[in-house]
Amino acid sequence: MAGRLAGQLEAAGDGPFPAADLAVEGEVEAWLNGGSALDAEDRLKAALKSARGRDGDSGRTAHGPHRSDLHVEYKSRGRPAADCSTGEQKALLISLVLAQARLQAAEQGRAPILLLDEVAAHLDADRRAALFADIEALGLQAWMTGT
């Protein structure tokens, strides 16, 4: 999924909403990178089985893909999103949301409905106009809150 989303980000270029590099990192991804999918599945089953008691006591699961992290990098600046300014982080997030909408429209043949809370409040006039133009170009329905 991250690879397909990265393709959409690359296709969009580095306009008002910057291109990003994506990586999913975690225990399961390390297992997948170090062997076959069947080996990773066996390792996950074993980890879940060995941690079942602790997981039950704690009310959470210590192993699995839900423990993985999505790492986002501002591509043209070579900077992790965590090290970007708040404005850059918001622009990167909008890039991801729009890329996901384009991907969903391409793969499913219909555009999603976006729910965007206070998104325009954090954008300058040029980026607001670009966001509205992208929403219109995608032909999707967007519900936005604002104050």
- Is there a domain that residue 56 lies in? no
In total, how many domains does the chain have? 1
- Which of 4, 50, 41, 18 has the alpha carbon at shortest distance from 130? 18
pLDDT reported for residue 3: 76
- Is there a domain that residue 39 lies in? no
- Is there a domain that residue 21 lies in? yes
What is the CA 12 to chain-centroid distance, rounded? Answer: 15
The residue written with tokens 């809370």 in the block is 117
Q: What is the pTM of this model?
A: 0.78
- Is there a domain that residue 94 lies in? yes
Note the pLDDT tens digit of each residue in 29-65: 999 999 999 999 999 999 999 999 999 999 999 999 9
- Is there a domain that residue 41 lies in? no
pLDDT along the chain (147 residues), means of 10: 77 80 92 94 96 94 93 92 91 92 91 91 88 92 89
Q: Which positions ≥6 away from 45 have C-beta within 8 Å? A: none
CATH code (residue 22): 3.40.50.300
pLDDT reported for residue 4: 82
pLDDT reported for residue 9: 77
pLDDT reported for residue 98: 93
Q: Residue 10 belongs to what domain range?
A: 2-26+68-145
- Is there a domain that residue 55 lies in? no
- Is there a domain that residue 47 lies in? no
